[in-house]
Amino acid sequence: MKDGFIKIAAVTPNLKVADVAYNTAEIVKLFHQASDAGAKLIVFPKLCLTGCSLGDLIMQSALLQAAADGIQMIAKETKGSDSVVVVGFPDPVSGQPVTAFIQNGTVLATVAKPESFLLQVRVEGTSCSFSVGLCYRSGADLVVRPMAEYDLVCADTIRTQEALCGSRRHQCILVQANAGEGESTTDYVYAGHNLITQCGKLIAESGSFTNGICYGVVDVDLVHAARRMKKLYDELTKKRQAVPEKISVSMKPCGTVLSGVIRQNPFLVEDEQEMNRRIAHILMLQTMGLKKRLTHCRAKTAVLGISGGLDSTLALFVTVRAFDLLGWDRKDILAVTMPCFGTSDRTHKNAMEMMELLGVTVREISIADAITQHFSDISHDQNVHNATYENAQARERTQILMDLANEKNGLMVGTGDLSELALGWATYGGDHISMYAVNADVPKTLMRKIVLYLADRVVAGDFDKTGEEGTREKLAETLRDVVATPVSPELLPAAAGSIAQKTEDIIGPYELHDFFLYYMLRYGFAPHKIYRMAVVAFSQVYDGDEIRKWITLFYQRFFAQQFKRSCLPDGPAIGSVGLSPRAGLKMPSDAEAAAWLSDLNRI
């Protein structure tokens, strides 16, 4: 276990009912196979040493003695390994099902009552507690459940849902190993079906009617973080006091192989249908939030700046949808494009096409003359392309939008997103300010996915005012080009009409920053752990040195730019990660990043 990651195995062995010698050999073989593969916890089913479908044979002394000898043989075979193996067998005295915890040649405990045992595992300061059965009352981080459930129609679905609900409710890891082929079929059929779940998420699952090993990599740090955030520890601490027996063991630190475990885009899900369902929900949250704010403020219009980039595109579509739900004329949406020194032909074209095709009121106001006059007023050399040069343009645009909102009895809709707020990539008093920020909880990686989703919905007829298929296709094509356009604030002079200033070349790839942001805020992971996860997730995209460069910049900017987030406008929360000082992150503006930057030195 390293950085909280631990590889575990839920195993269904081949067995012969009442043939303890055969079953012992199979368990030993699978133990070595799982241990050699890096599994540190290896869980076998209930009564797997004898078979669970014994009937009254379980009371026979010869069988009970054979089972006791079998456990000692398994313990002997674990000598030299720090993996913990969990094996179900009948108690030699009572014949009742018990569970043995074995490590390094020693039977640590045999457990008959689930609430009576807690195994504390320590690895270089990281600890994890194991418990047996559905004994969530112990407050264990990882609950093992050796099972012997026969199969019926839909039983696999019920087992999965129960495992997911149990691990979600108690914010723990749940490992279920079930009896399978080899058990008696006199009355029932046993189908295996092993499950590993973590905090309500399915980590690994074996198919029904499949014996063998089901591997999963779980994260104990994630469990600890989830419990801290849900304030479960006060309750769990009280429950732990009722556990009469606790045994501590240690494991050697090892770098659990994470390949294929860490996804590049934690804000997205892989299942397309589920992703579309979530996007539809996000859009509704944004739309209903804006709809309420428009009616509450008695606004007659909505005013927003359209650059032809991702953020303003999504904000425009949310505004259009809010107006459609209210039954208001889209012409009362004042969409303003404000070209200046850095505006490219591509973004200007996309902005104009979107506004016109959606049927809103379009206004183009060049700010070049106003900015030139402003530079003259403050004695700034226009050839010096510093922060003054860039921010003056952003603030001028915000002033125009605010004043138009006043003039039109309207509400200025903000366009900035979560990723930009995390990095402070916004001009204070410029695009940082609005009257309602519909995108404030939407990260850039998710925004790209949403705009592509909107392109599909446009083709399907949503947002259409003309009923002409050609118009829909043109609007969808524009949206796809917006996604394909490099992200840029376009505040530096354009090069022959093309984008000269590319955000991701300056501050790093948004897919990396969104990854860092998610695991920092969602689970409070340490920087060195997030770095390790990023190296695995993006192994085919970035090397370790590049990831280290950008994660260092992320923490530097995140802490230095908090003052911008301390006074954010209202906006709808959409997920578990947010930066609103009211509904999201509560953080002082002058906190130091020293501890986080120091942690990166562990890399």
Q: In the listed set 250, 281, 298, which residue is the last one of a domain according to the structure? A: 250
Q: Is the pLDDT of residue 428 over 90?
A: yes
Determine the pLDDT at residue 245. Answer: 64
Determine the pLDDT at residue 496. Answer: 75
User: In this structure, what token pair is assigned to residue 567?
Assistant: 């006074």
Q: Is the pLDDT of residue 282 over 70?
A: yes
In a domain, 385, yes or no: yes
In a domain, 540, yes or no: no
In a domain, 577, yes or no: no
Rg, Å, the chain Cα set = 30
Q: Is the pLDDT of residue 232 over 70?
A: no
Confidence of residue 134 (pLDDT cuts 50, 70, 90): very low
Fill in the DSSP letter of residue 208.
Answer: B
pLDDT digits (tens, 9 = 90+) for 248-272: 778 877 777 787 779 999 999 989 9
153 and 295 together in one domain: no
Domain count, the chain: 2
Site of tokens 């199969």: 151
Look up the CATH number of the domain holding residue 128.
3.60.110.10
Percentage of the chain beyond pLDDT 90 is 77
Give the SS3 label for residue 233.
helix
Nearest to 44 by CA among 24, 66, 59, 58: 24
413 and 490 together in one domain: yes
227 and 300 together in one domain: no
What does the alpha-carbon distance between residue 126 and residue 253 come to, in Å, rounded to a whole number?
A: 10
Look up the CATH number of the domain holding residue 326.
3.40.50.620
Confidence of residue 247 (pLDDT cuts 50, 70, 90): confident
390 and 480 together in one domain: yes
Q: Is the pLDDT of residue 244 over 90?
A: no
195 and 288 together in one domain: no
pLDDT digits (tens, 9 = 90+) for 308-366: 999 999 999 999 999 999 999 999 999 999 999 989 999 999 999 999 999 999 999 99
What does the alpha-carbon distance between residue 152 and residue 149 come to, in Å, rounded to a whole number?
A: 9
Give the SS3 label for residue 222.
helix
Nearest to 528 by CA among 450, 420, 603: 603
In a domain, 535, yes or no: no
313 and 376 together in one domain: yes
Query: What phi, psi does 90 have (nearest 5°)?
Result: -80, 140
What does the alpha-carbon distance between residue 445 and residue 389 come to, in Å, rounded to a whole number?
A: 29
193 and 334 together in one domain: no
pLDDT digits (tens, 9 = 90+) for 558-582: 999 999 999 999 999 998 899 999 9
Please enumerate in sequence order all residues whose Cβ is within 8 A of that of 475, keeping only pairs 6 or more positions apart, or say none.
353, 354, 357, 358, 455, 458, 463
Nearest to 414 by CA among 503, 325, 336, 303: 303
Please enumerate in sequence order all residues whose Cβ is within 8 A of that of 108, keeping only pairs 6 or more positions apart, or say none.
84, 101, 102, 119, 247, 249
Query: What phi, psi does 256 have (nearest 5°)?
Result: -60, 130
Determine the pLDDT at residue 258. Answer: 81
What does the alpha-carbon distance between residue 257 and residue 2 come to, in Å, rounded to a whole number?
A: 10
Residue 273 to residues 29, 157, 269, 276, 444: CA-CA distances in angstroms?
41, 20, 9, 5, 20
What does the alpha-carbon distance between residue 374 and residue 545 come to, in Å, rounded to a whole number?
A: 42
